[in-house]
Amino acid sequence: MLENLIYGFGVAATFQNLSACFIGALLGTAIGVLPGIGPLATISLLLPLTFGMPSTTAIIMLAGIYYGAQYGGSTTSILMNLPGEVSSVITTLDGYQMAKNGQAGPALAVAAIGSFIAGCVATLVVAIAGPLLTAVALSFGPADYFSLMLLGLIVASVLSEGNVVKSIAMMIAGVGIGLVGTDVQTGQQRFTFDIPELSDGIGFAPMAMGMFGIAEVIRNLEMPEVREALKTRISRLWLTGEEWRRVAAPIARGTTLGTLVGILPGGGAALSSMGAYTLERRVSRNKHLFGKGAIEGVAAPESANNAAAQTSFIPLLTLGIPANAVMALMIGALIIQGIQPGPRMIEAQPDLFWGLIASMWLGNLMLVVINLPLIGMWVRLLKVPYDLMYPAILVFCAIGVYSLNNNNFDVFVTVVFAFLGYLFSKIGCPPAPMLIGFVLGPMMEEHLRRAMLLSRGDPMVFLERPISATLLVLAVIAVAAMAIPSLRKGKEEALHQA
Amino acid sequence: MRFRPDAQDIFAGVMFIAFAALMLYLNFESHPIGTARRMGSGYMPMLAFGLLAALGLAILIGGLFTGPEPIGRFAWRDMALILGATTVFGLSVERLGFVVSISLCILIASLAEKTWKPLRVLGLTLFLLALCWAVFIWYLDIRIRLFPWSH
Amino acid sequence: MTRRIALPRRWVLAAIGTTVAAPAPVRAQAWPSGPIRLVVPFAPGGTTDVMARLVADRLGPRLGTTVIVENRAGAGATIGSTFVAQAAPDGHTLVMSNIASHGIAPSLYRNLRYDALKDFAHVAMVTRNPSVMVANPDFEAKSFAEVVRVAKARPDGLDYGVSGAGSSNHLLGLRVAKAAGIRLTPVFYRGAGPAMTDTIAGVVPLMFDGLPSATGHIREGRVRGIATSGAERAAAVPDIPTFKELGLDIVSYQWFGISAPAGTPAEIVQRLNREIRAVLADTAVMQRFDQLGGTTLEMTPDQYTAFIAEEIAVWAPVVEASGARVD
């Protein structure tokens, strides 16, 4: 084991591979920061470049882009309320609030540090237990996934502050919007109105850019005071001793959760950061601060999503199966190189396997080194006068969204959701649960119907399978935990009023 | 409970009910529902939008008593300019190219600022054009036409 | 060609410059007068995308320009194809025509916005590959004969995983079931990856997949190859029999080629055809395609057009019978 790792460092530490790792990490950070353009778009643009590279170098660079983007993605979420992917939606909840409170520095710092720690731990897990954990991923059948998604949705409904019924309604509405497009089980077009662009569903990025980023621009324009607050109340860049104490446990819990959930192909990233956030809200001593700028609410999900980003390599490395769209591209990159990803790769291409693992460590280290000094610059970005800032945000969002599919339809989708996002803010409907429902809902449906098809319509399959049954029990507990305090509170309020 | 209408909740409730009703109608029109054992493509939409309608009703009824929470003023002008700028970008990017559509987008958006300073907007436009060119075209090499006459 | 990030972009351009400079023949017409866009109607990274990029890479220098791959994915490869059908027929916009967009879509989508034959000038075939039926290695049936026996013994027949409703593999499964007189129920996934995961895990016993993406899993024993759909056995997996050998009248390939909008001048189509075939004849390219599990195939524009017409005729009744038609 140890000698393998040392061997891997030998591979990763060559000048060529180090620079590939550095370029990847840097590029990843850059594209993570740009709204709209995610790791998927960038890796696909860069793919042809890797044709000419040695395979190990190529994959090290692509991996660097992938986890670099996880770092960069938190930056815009915190500074501008612009989440690039599902996992960053969670970061906006408290991260952007911290920025509004003048704590952008500590928020960015804790995101970087949490990601670093999580990345290191998760990489170790990939190296040691990768093949073993594959079995876990394979033991999840459709029934188990359904129960997991159901649990995820229930957990998501308590994400935001305020009226729980409205949160749940937003989430269900998100599920409904997620159903637009081709039905996986029948191929039928649902709610597409004969628009071909809708046949693959509404894109996540246009929806998130609109509802969060651009709607926020409109809100800031109408409230100049908030803009001023963002600008003037910038304090320190680093964490205080007190904050260090507050984030230690959340980072540890987030890392653990992210490492485990990341292994599951499909939905791992979204569930991990959401789960970590909800867990913290339950166990934290600072529950009342959540949603108002709790540093724990940034530390835990950021750690979780970076841990999940690393462990999502496990199905790729051990089975040759992609856990998400980015991983599918990585497989494409490997296949171009004439390498078949899978368990044999560890023996057949030890350079590649151990070199990649070692480079993940080095890459995480580089990312911290790149990102910590940048915090000062990012925070200073907030001081840019808003009349110069918002057209820039708008233009970057628009180009980013357009370039996703080279299709202006996505730009129009962004406009619609920007309007809705603004409307929702006026009537007290939180957008985060909608995005979560949008992502998890269709997956839940898909697994539900697949499970029912395979069991020939026998619903007992959800209770007979131990994993599924356990998750369902957790879901029931979650509902109870949610319902009891609010019932009690309702009673108290009623008594007060009486 | 006293009748104290909450405009936010009432609006939200009506919105959810209307959206759910529309989608339910479309769903029954065009998708087979099936049964719980053999679900058709309309089954999940039926559940989701049915539940949404129920929740909307709950919010609406609740909203009659939990107020008053008025809906804030809508910044119509700001909203129209920001959304308009983005729409114009979407409409023009393929035909007029990157440079023109970005300039239009910035120009329209900049009108949302209370005091419109032509020189400042011009400077910003030039700066952003250069920045976007560097980031998106030179660095990321996205596929986008530069000028109306370019290929 | 690649012009992606700062440094390599210049190297690449320089490299192109030198290769072009040497054999540049005097061009009769002013084509190409700029970069050529090759629209790939799939998401980047899949085998087909990779193959398209391989061709684009070598085609550019031969034409003295750059061939830019542009991914416009969606709606069973019909969005990218629609885009090209409506593009200017000046030889600067091409599409990777394929079995989904040009073979099956004409029967599958009622509201298709192009005619797969009339709206295109089909240029050249590029490559094709057979599909393969695989089974979970622990599944009781180890051969096609046993699959038939097990399927007949069970009242519900057997399930097979497949990438999407209306995909060529979905329809191939139905054809196999009909020809063998057994009941096979398709279980759909979002893409071949998740379907393969569930086949390896044993959630579904069988799967139909394109050979390129399944080869690695077969070789490493994660799934068992049952039969391939080619006219003869595939070189990548020579010990797997074909459906034809097994007595079923089924020969089916996934294929893709290159097409231009209808109205593209005949000289340009001919020139493109010559250059594409020259690229395909290159041993290095052949080897690459071979590794990926595809066979390069040379056809004239007329042959390719006739081939597509034939494919549309083959799939129409299968789509009809499957009930997968999308309204």
Beta carbons of C68 and B143 less than 8 Å apart: yes
pLDDT bin (cut points 50, 70, 90) of residue B85 is very high
- With contact defined as beta carbons under 8 Å apart, do B140 and A42 qualify? yes
Amino acid at A59: I
CB contact under 8 A, C3 and B141: yes
Average pLDDT for A205-225: 85
A49: contact with B, CB 8 A cutoff = no
pLDDT score of A93 more than 90: no
Which pairing describes strands C224-228 and C120-135: parallel, antiparallel, or unpaired?
antiparallel
Nearest CA in chain B to A187: B41
Number of residues written out for chain A = 498
- In a domain, residue B131? The reply is yes
Residue ranges of C 210-249 with Cβ closer than 8 A to chain A: 215-217, 219-220, 222
* pLDDT over 90 (residue A102): no
Q: What is the mean pLDDT of chain A?
A: 82
pLDDT value, residue A234: 59
What is the number of other CB atoms lying within 10 angstroms of the CB of residue A201? 19
Bond from prior residue into A265 cis (ω within 30 degrees of 0): no
Q: What is the pLDDT of residue C191?
A: 76
Q: Number of A:B CB contacts under 8 A?
A: 184
Average pLDDT over residues C180-185: 90
What confidence tens digit (pLDDT) does each residue in A331-361 have?
777 776 777 776 677 777 888 888 888 888 8
Quick one: three-class SS letters along A333-371? HHHHCCCCCCCHHHHHCHHHHHHHHHHHHHHHHHHHHHH
Number of separate domains in chain B: 2
- How buried is residue A241: exposed, middle or buried, by Cβ count under 10 Å (0-12/13-18/19+)? exposed
Do the chains contact at C9 and B143, CB–CB below 8 Å? no
Residue C21 has pLDDT above 50, yes or no: no
In chain A, the residue whose alpha carbon lies closest to the alpha carbon of C53 is A48
Chain C positions touching B141 (Cβ under 8 A) are: 3-5, 9
Q: What distance in Å separates the CA atoms of residue A317 and residue A364, rounded to the nearest whole number?
A: 19
Q: Please report which confidence band the pLDDT of residue C29 belongs to, taking 50, 70 and 90 as the band edges.
A: low
| DSSP annotation of C207 | E
Residue of C221, C262, C246 lying closest to C97 (CA atoms): C262
Is residue B91 classed exposed, middle or buried when 0-12, 13-18 and 19+ CB atoms within 10 A define those classes?
Answer: middle
Domain-located, residue B134 = yes
Q: How far is B95 from chain C (nearest CA, A)?
A: 13
Q: Going from the N-terminus, what domains does chain C have, and what CATH number goes with each?
A: 6-129+254-322 (3.40.190.150), 130-228 (3.40.190.10)
| Whether residue B81 sits in one domain with residue B59 | no
Across A54-58, C177-181, C267-271, least confident range: A54-58
Chain B nearest-CA distance from C30, in A, is 14
Q: Determine, yes or no, domain membership for B105.
A: yes
pLDDT of A57 reads 87
Q: Which residues are CB-neighbours of C94 under 8 A, at least 6 positions away?
A: C36, C37, C38, C39, C84, C123, C258, C259, C260, C272
Domains of chain A: which residue ranges? 2-497
> Which string of DSSP letters, residue by residue, matches C158-176?
EEEEES-TTSHHHHHHHHH
Residues B28 and B55 in one domain: yes
Complex ipTM more than 0.90, yes or no: yes
With an 8 Å Cβ cutoff, are B138 and C6 in contact? Answer: yes
Distance CA A439, CA A203 (A): 10
Contacts of B56 in chain A (CB under 8 A): 169
Cα(A308)–Cα(C18) distance, integer angstroms: 45
Distance CA C185, CA C158 (A): 6
Which pairing describes strands C253-261 and C120-135: parallel, antiparallel, or unpaired?
antiparallel
CA C281-C282-C283 angle, 5° bins: 110
Whole-number Cα distances in Å, A454 to A441, B39, B133, C26, C199: 20, 12, 52, 64, 13
Q: Please list every residue in chain B whose beta carbon sits closer than 8 Å to the beta carbon of residue C6.
A: 138-139
Q: How far is A375 from chain C (nearest CA, A)?
A: 25
Full domain range(s) for residue B40 = 7-63
Q: Please check whether residues B57 and B110 belong to one and the same domain.
A: no
Predicted confidence (pLDDT) at residue C18 exceeds the cutoff of 50: no
A381 φ, ψ to 5°? -55, -30
Touching partners of C (3+ C-beta pairs < 8 Å): A, B
Domain C-terminal end among B33, B63, B93:
B63
For residue B139, list chain A residues with Cβ-Cβ distance below 8 A.
30
Which chain C positions have a beta carbon within 8 Å of B143's beta carbon? 37, 68, 70
Residue owning tokens 């020579």:
C238
Claim to verify: residue B44 and residue B96 sit in the same structural domain: no
Residues B71/B8, Cβ–Cβ less than 8 Å: yes
Give domain status of residue B111, yes or no.
yes
Where are the alpha helices (H) located in A39-101, listed in sequence order?
39-46, 55-80, 86-100
With beta carbons under 8 A apart, name residues in chain B contacting A406: 142-144
Question: Inter-chain contact B132–A396, Cβ cutoff 8 Å?
Answer: yes
Q: What's the pLDDT band for C9 if we cut at 50, 70, 90?
A: very low
Mean pLDDT throughout C212-216?
Answer: 83
Chain segment C136-172, per-residue pLDDT in tens: 999 998 899 998 999 999 988 899 998 878 888 888 9
- Residue B11 sits in the same domain as residue B58: yes
Interface test with C, best of B26, B30, B133, B141 (most C CBs within 10 A): B141
Q: Where residue C5 falls among pLDDT bands split at 50, 70, 90? A: very low
Residues of A in contact with B105 (CB under 8 A): 391, 394-395, 398
Residues 451-470 in A contacting C (C-alpha not used; CB under 8 Å): 453-454, 456
CA C70, distance to chain mean position in Å, is 17
C-proximal residues of B, 84-143, CB under 8 Å: 138-141, 143
* Contact at CB, B9 and A428, closer than 8 angstroms: yes
Q: How many CB pairs under 8 A join B and C?
A: 15
**Is A179's Cβ below 8 Å from some Cβ in B?**
yes
| Buried b / exposed e along C240-276 (16+ C-beta atoms within 10 A) | bebbbebebebebbbbbbbbbbeebeeebbebbbebb
Residue B83 belongs to a domain: yes
Q: How far is A70 from chain B (nearest CA, A)?
A: 18
> Does residue B112 belong to any structural domain of this protein?
yes
Residue C173 is predicted with a pLDDT of 92
Q: Which of A438-442, A467-471, B52-56 has the highest mean pLDDT?
A: B52-56
In a domain, B81, yes or no: yes
Q: Give how far Cα B151 sits from Cα of A114, C37, C62, C209, Å.
A: 46, 10, 20, 39
State which H helix or E strand residue A48 sits in.
none
Per-residue pLDDT reduced to its tens digit, A258-281: 888 887 766 667 788 888 888 888
Question: Does residue C68 belong to the interface with chain B, where contact is any CB pair within 8 Å?
Answer: yes
| Contact (CB<8Å) A45/B141 | yes
Of A163-167, A288-292, A486-490, C131-135, the range with the highest mean pLDDT is C131-135
pLDDT tens column, A397-446? 888 888 777 788 999 999 999 999 999 988 888 888 898 888 888 888 98
Of C233, C257, C245, C247, nearest to C132 by C-alpha is C233
In a domain, B144, yes or no: no
The C-alpha of B147 sits at a distance from chain A's nearest C-alpha, in angstroms, of: 15
Is residue C96 over pLDDT 50?
Answer: yes
pLDDT of A497 above 70: no
Distances (CA, A) of B18 to A172, A178, A272, A402: 14, 18, 34, 31
Residue C9, chain B, CB below 8 Å: the answer is yes
Is B81 found in the same domain as B53? no
pLDDT confidence bin for A228, thresholds 50/70/90: low
CA A268 to chain centre: 9
Cβ neighbours, 10 Å, residue A5: 16
Q: Are B80 and B59 in a shared domain?
A: no
